[in-house]
Amino acid sequence: MPFGDMRDFFLYLHTFGALPHFPRPDCIGKETRSSPDYRNEGRWKRERSRVIFQYTLAGEGRFARKGCTVPVKAGQGFLCESHDPAMAYYFPPEVRTPWHFVFIDLYGQTAHEMAKDLIQRFGSVYCIPIEHPFIRKLLSFHVYHEVGCTLSLGESLRLADDLFQTLVSSVSPIPEHHADHVLIRRFQEIVQMEIGTPLTVGAIALRLSVSAEHLARVFKQQTGLSPHVHIQQAKMLAACSMLKSPAVTIKEIAARLGYDTPARFTRTFRRIVGIPPHEFRETGVVPLTFGPLRSPARSTSPRDA
């Protein structure tokens, strides 16, 4: 049976033992729309904010953000935040065939941060094969339409993780054995193993038998960072951990990380982390990672509402 012919459904998902800071799937459904009356805009929303992924099974809709409007056809889906005032999605009046789509909504600040990162890096619209296991998984929830569905904490996390992994894989489909992937991993391994030396991109590229220009191009394309920035951030992550030990002085940390002077280390730390080392030691929280842009480290269906 074509997915477009599947019966529409809507259900809320309940997570048993939900953790407040974890991404949490809230609802899943399949809908068919054929009237221009179907229009959602972020500036209209009044209910609690959520992350929305909506995928076209048949027909087409429109997605608009910041003045740019694009069709969302079969095999395409869009990711957005429900309260984004620059966002809208709707059934276009010029289209005569119904728009069949499946959707999943997520709650949680972590889900919003992940969505923001994806949209900033890759945009809002993603191409995913209609036979993809994640799309089939969403549609499989139709069996709970009449009875509802309660997920365990693990199931809830896996479902949210499946969404973001599917989106990332659709725009970065580099398998682990691909030469570019291997190059990036070898570069990162060298940085971690020799974090205490004055590393340079040129020296590492020479060891990897590639030009510094090629290494920089591949690394930037796949991570959003330059290799030089990655080296600095790796050193600063190590520094953050060491600063939480009062037995180690800032001068010793600078030396352990390959800086010729404490002043140079302090300048780099402040630029990347946002505050000087002595202040981080007192008030900072050790981050898991740094993003491309680092802020200072201080502490009608129900969906149409």
What's the pLDDT at 301? 53
pLDDT tens digit sequence for 193-232: 999 999 999 999 999 999 999 999 999 888 888 999 999 9
What is the pLDDT, as a whole number, of residue 292?
A: 52
pLDDT at 19: 87
pLDDT tens track for 228-269: 999 999 999 999 999 988 899 999 999 999 999 999 999 999
pLDDT confidence of residue 45: 72
Confidence of residue 1 (pLDDT cuts 50, 70, 90): very low
Whether pLDDT at 303 is above 90: no
For 82-107, how does the pLDDT look when each residue is reduced to its tens digit (9 = 90+)?
Answer: 999 999 999 999 999 999 999 999 99
Same domain, 86 and 167: yes
Instruction: Quote the pLDDT of residue 21.
Output: 85
Q: What is the pLDDT of residue 56?
A: 97
3-state secondary structure the chain: CCHHHCCCEEEEEEECCCCCCCCEEEEEEEEEECCCCCEEEHHHCCCCCCEEEEEEEECEEEEEECCEEEEEECCEEEEEECCCCCEEEECCCCCCCCEEEEEEEEECHHHHHHHHHHHHHHCCEEECCCCCHHHHHHHHHHHHCCCCEEECHHHHHHHHHHHHHHHHHHHCCCCCCCHHHHHHHHHHHHHHHCCCCCCCHHHHHHHCCCCHHHHHHHHHHHHCCCHHHHHHHHHHHHHHHHHCCCCCCHHHHHHHCCCCCHHHHHHHHHHHHCCCHHHHHHHCCCCCCCCCCCCCCCCCCHHHC
Same domain, 167 and 183: no
Q: Given pLDDT bands bounded at 50, 70 and 90, which one contains residue 148?
A: confident
Assigned domain for 289 exists: no
14 φ/ψ sector (left φ>0, alpha ψ -120 to 50, else beta): beta
Contacts of residue 11, defined as CB under 8 A and 6 or more positions apart, other chains included, come to 27, 28, 29, 141, 144, 145, 148, 149
pLDDT band at 176 (very low <50, low <70, confident <90, very high): low
253 plus 109 within the same structural domain = no
- Of 44 and 55, more confident: 55
Q: How many domains does the chain have?
A: 2
Contact 304, 10 (CB under 8 A): no
Residue 293: is its pLDDT beyond 70? no
Q: Do 148 and 16 fall into the same domain?
A: yes
pLDDT the model gives residue 60: 96
pLDDT-based confidence at residue 3 (cuts at 50, 70, 90): low
pLDDT value at 4 more than 60: no
Res 296: pLDDT: 38
User: Which of 143, 171, 199 finishes a domain?
Assistant: 171
pLDDT surpassing 60 at residue 305 = no
Does residue 167 sit within a domain? Answer: yes
User: Could you tell me if 213 and 251 lie in one domain?
Assistant: yes
Mean pLDDT of 108-129: 94
Domain coverage including residue 230 = 179-283
Verify that 135 and 202 share a domain, yes or no: no
Token readout for 188 is 């990162």
Q: Both 157 and 210 in a single domain?
A: no
Shared-domain flag, residues 22 and 106 = yes
Q: Write down the mean pLDDT value for the chain.
A: 88
What CATH number does the domain containing 275 carry? Answer: 1.10.10.60
The answer to whether residue 120 is domain-embedded is yes
pLDDT at res. 294? 40
Answer with the one of 152, 171, 190 that is the final residue of a domain: 171
What pLDDT shows up at residue 289?
63
Q: Is residue 296 part of a domain?
A: no
Which residue, 124, 148, 171, sits at the end of a domain?
171
pLDDT in tens, 18-29: 888 899 999 999
Residues 162 and 187 in one domain: no
